[in-house]
Amino acid sequence: MVASPTKPERPPRRRNAEATKARLMAAGEALFSAHGFGGTTLDAIAEQADANKAMVRYYFGDKDGLYTAIIEAIIDDVLAHLEGELASPTDPVTDMGDFIEVFARAIISRPSFPRMVLRDYLDGDIMTREGPANKLRGFMETTRRHYIAGQVAGRFREVDPHMLHLSIVGAAIFFSVTRRIRSAISTHQGMADFEIEAAPFTRHLRDLVLSGITSSQG
């Protein structure tokens, strides 16, 4: 009897906790943003991450823990981007304009974030997660802080800071989640004006919001 050839042994995979966690979070971010929380399974996450689904429970407790960790990590990245891009305070109108532009650009540059947040808002779930809810309130407070500085200086008229914040975030999220359909309309229906790049949009948003809140006395 001829012995069948033996398969070469695969080298043992290096156990690296941080690398495994990073793969799970990357896989979760891609799947949650595409299918939502309810439409994403641990099996799918584990398969895409090339890991055992027991690792999700080991590192994050459960699917909800993984989802929360992803949202918090994305928000931290956006906040870090804001801190790195925004200069020291100078003129309150310029500072608010820079904040609007950088903030909107940071949201748009991470397409999974607007999709995940929008799904969460539609389901009413995100504010039930304490960590993400606190970090999202941090965004709101940053908007409020820039607005109050301009109002105290007599440069901004009186508006509701929360409505102002929703106007900025809502515009950036809508721009991001409609990018694919705008591109399709531009390509297949010949409507080139639907193909809008992020940079001119964020500049437009900056100018539009500032024109709406700047006091005629300023």
Helical H runs in the chain? 17-35, 42-49, 54-60, 63-85, 92-108, 112-123, 130-152, 161-177, 179-189, 198-213
Task: Among 6-10, 27-31, 56-60, 126-130, name the one with the lowest average pLDDT.
Answer: 6-10
Helices 198-213 and 161-177 pack at an angle, to 10 degrees, of 160
pLDDT (tens digit per residue) in 148-200: 999 999 999 999 999 999 999 999 999 998 887 777 766 666 555 556 788 99
The mean per-residue pLDDT over the stretch 112-117 comes to: 86
Please state the three-class secondary structure of 68-115 as a single string: HHHHHHHHHHHHHHHHHHCCCCCCHHHHHHHHHHHHHHHHHCCCHHHH
Q: Which domains does the chain have, with CATH numbers?
A: 18-61 (1.10.10.60), 72-213 (1.10.357.10)
Q: If you average pLDDT over every residue of the chain, what do you get?
A: 84
* pTM for this predicted structure: 0.78
